[in-house]
Structure 1
Amino acid sequence: MKLLRFLDKIILKLEEFILSYAVIIIALMVVGKAVSRALFSYSPPFADEVSQICIVIATFMGISFAARKGRHISMSAFYDLAPFKVRKAFMIFIPVISAIFMFVLTYFSYLYVMDVYESGRVTPALQMPSYYLYIFIPIGFLLGGIQFLRNAWINISKRDAVYLGTDAKDYNDEDHRDVSEEIHL
């Protein structure tokens, strides 16, 4: 169990590092291209390509991070109005279904990456093998699927609250808990 927690911390730090630097590089490339074009009437040809690569990396590596923090997109109108037991069931069922979709997408994106690899395509400006760009897609889906399974598991194993992610309790439970604590005082 300690090994899994250690591995989880490493993955979290790696995700934070990748996401942080991807966003910083995107900003530098976009601003640098605009400044270069304004001052020198020249746009470096690699700027768009580097930005595109970083957007793909941030998008797909962000799946797991968002699921971990409970910050993924959700339609919560019915969920917010539901009683505790229904929300608890939703937060077991929804992550399991999401994980299944993530694993299916992992498989198909892996096949796509292998197709790009076998084609030998390279990027236009950097002449980098194109599959380097796409390799983050199945990795992101796989990590996202694992994280959604962890979210389901934490809701199964911990009955005290509803967890939106392994690092995030449902805000509805926090409000409910505060009111019940006041009543007992």
Structure 2
Amino acid sequence: MKKDTENSAKPGVLRRFNRAVGKVVNAVEVSILVFCVASLGILLIVNVLARTFFQSIYFAEEVSKFLVMLMTFTGVSYGVRKARHIRMGAFLDSMPPKMEKTFIIIISLVSAVVMAIMAWASWEYLINAMSKGHMTPALQVPSWTFYVIIPIGFGLACIQYIRTILKNFIEKDPWQSPDQQSEYEDEEIGGAQI
């Protein structure tokens, strides 16, 4: 009995690696999301003031578009990893654990396939945009640079769904995401609970 407790207390190499990668990915995603929201807010407020008193900032629309795209497609992966995507939680919670696990695997599999198809389609779109050689009007940068995040975001979301599938095959209890947290638990941000 004591041996089982010791083994369960010591996470395996794969589990430690997964946690370390998860912490780094979480930190990067959260940093990108915070940066985008803060930058977007500051840019739009400054642009309103500049437009009111002087003239509009000529690149504000393009930078805003890029920040919204970056925020959206970074948020896709973050939402899947934290199980904060749209789902039928009440429906799953009312099922017996085996049936819930089966449904989570099926839903995650379908979602992973959809994300993979979207990643592939957005990659094709990115390649097409690169071949056109169009430049943005204000910043004069290649327009395809705005689209790089789209296949990355869909690809990372696909990986997160695959992780959910694997976690459900490995673990005894059903998991809606690898970094699952109950909807009713408080989240910690920067050491403080909200």
- Do Structure 1 and Structure 2 share a fold, with TM-score over 0.5? yes
The amino acid across from 1:128 in the alignment is: V
Q: Select the residue among 171, 175, 178 that pairs with 1:163.
A: 175
How many residues align structurally? 171
Higher helix content, 1 or 2: 1
Measure, in 1, the Cα distance between the counterparts of 2:18 and 2:76: 20
* Secondary structure of 1:78's aligned partner: helix
Which residue identity does 1:163 align to in structure 2? W
Report what 1:12 is aligned to.
Answer: 26
Deviations, residues 32-82 of structure 1 (Å, cap 9, x unaligned): 111222232x11121111111010011111111111111011244533433
Q: Which digits, 9 at most, give the CA deviation of each residue in 1:4-59, with x for residues without a partner? A: 5444432222211211111111111211111222232x111211111110100111
Is the contact made by 2:82 and 2:181 (CA closer than 8 Å) also made in structure 1? Answer: no
Match of 2:163 in 1: 150
Give me the whole-angstrom Cα distance separating, in 2, the residues matched to 1:142 and 1:110. Answer: 10
Question: Does structure 2 retain, via aligned residues, the 8 Å contact 1:19–1:62?
Answer: yes
Q: How does 1:74-85 map to 2 (within 5 A)?
A: 74-76=87-89, 78-85=91-98
| CA distance in structure 2 between the partners assigned to 1:134 and 1:64 by the alignment | 16
Q: Are 1:163 and 1:170, in contact at CA under 8 Å, matched by a contact in 2?
A: no
Alignment of 1:15-30 (within 5 A): 15-30=29-44
Counting only pairs closer than 5 Å after superposition, residues 1-185 of structure 1 correspond to structure 2 as 1=14, 3=17, 5-40=19-54, 42-76=55-89, 78-160=91-173, 162-171=174-183
Distance 1:151 1:87, change over 3 A: same
Q: Secondary structure at the match of 1:163?
A: coil
Which whole-Å CA distance do the structure 1 matches of 2:83 and 2:60 have between them?
33
Superposition RMSD in Å:
2.0
1:182 corresponds in structure 2 to: none
Which segments of 5 or more consecutive residues in structure 2 lack a partner in the other structure? 1-13, 186-194
CA gap of 1:77–1:5, structure 2 versus 1, over 3 A, is closer
**Offset from partner CA, 1:100-152 (integer Å, 9 cap, x none):** 11111111110100110110011111111111100000000111100011112
Structure 1's unaligned 5+ residue stretches are 175-185
State the identity %. Answer: 35
* TM-score when normalising by structure 1: 0.84
Q: Is the 8 A contact 1:70 1:164 kept in 2?
A: yes
What TM-score do the two structures reach when normalised by structure 2? 0.80
Amino acid at match of 2:96: P
